[in-house]
Amino acid sequence: MNAHARYTRYVNARLIKERLQAVGVAIVGVAMIVLGIVALNDDDVTCGGQVMEQGEVCEETRGGTTTDERGYEAQSEENTLTGWLLTGGGAAMVGGGGFWAVAAFTRKKRITMDEAAAGLNPATVVAARRSGGAPAEPWQPGHGRPSSSIPAPQAAPPHPPPHSQQPYPPHAQQPPNGTHQRDGPQYPLR
């Protein structure tokens, strides 16, 4: 498998992963909405999963100590608040996940090995396909880059020659292995 094929598989796998995450967020949001509606429609006042009777007290404990006590009415309001928070949070997740999914499915497209060889990525492949900038002939290993309207990357300029007036490390008074710290104790790097 050549480098373009590996790159194509890697990029397309990331794109599929992003799409699945977006759809997953929307599905979790729908589940939260359902749980919120069920909690809002439940006439029973519950404390820790058990139904409360009028006059009982709900105790919240953490680490073996009681942190909060609520009566029947206060617990009923707490259950209603939980239902509304689940419903509202689920609606926000459905909206955000839906927007993310639409963006992931429409803006970014999977790329072919020929497009990867031409230097395209998922963000630029849509524009190149619309303008006709996709490679005209399929890419063949050992035959150079395919002709396309996208310019070939330019070679990087050579590294400048090292300056003979600057010693390495730049500060000769600094001890080796990073043991010098200006305003603190000196510990070697690990």
Tell me: the pLDDT tens digits for 124-181? 777 777 777 544 444 455 555 555 555 555 666 666 655 555 555 555 555 555 555 5
> What pLDDT was estimated at residue 142?
54
Strand, helix or coil at 176?
A: helix
Q: Would residue 176 count as lying in a domain?
A: no
Q: How large is the C-alpha radius of gyration of the chain?
A: 31
> What type of residue is 174?
Q
Strand, helix or coil at 83?
A: helix
Q: Would residue 121 count as lying in a domain?
A: no
Q: Which residues contact 55 (CB under 8 A, 6 or more apart)?
A: 72
Q: Would residue 116 count as lying in a domain?
A: no
- Tokens for 75, please give them: 């617990």
DSSP run (H or E) holding 63? none
> What pLDDT was estimated at residue 129?
77
- Banded pLDDT at 109 (limits 50, 70, 90): confident
Mean pLDDT of the region 104-123: 78
Compute the mean pLDDT over every residue in the chain, rounded to the nearest whole number.
77
Name the residue among 46, 32, 38, 35 with its Cα closest to residue 76.
46
Distance CA 16, CA 21 (A): 9
Q: Would residue 170 count as lying in a domain?
A: no
For residue 14, pLDDT over 80 is answered with yes
Q: Would residue 181 count as lying in a domain?
A: no
> What pLDDT was estimated at residue 32?
97
Task: Please give the tally of structural domains in the chain.
Answer: 1
15 vs 94, residue with greater confidence: 94
Which ranges in the chain belong to alpha helices (H)? 3-41, 72-106, 113-117, 122-131
Q: How many CA atoms lie within 13 A of 162 on its CB side?
A: 6
Residue with tokens 């497009």: 115
Q: Would residue 29 count as lying in a domain?
A: yes
45 vs 111, residue with greater confidence: 45
Q: Is the bond leading into 146 cis (omega within 30 degrees of zero)?
A: no
- Tokens for 160, please give them: 């400048």
> What pLDDT was estimated at residue 128?
77
- Tokens for 136, please give them: 């005209």
Q: Would residue 182 count as lying in a domain?
A: no
Q: Would residue 88 count as lying in a domain?
A: yes
Instruction: Name the residue range of residue 59's domain.
Output: 3-101
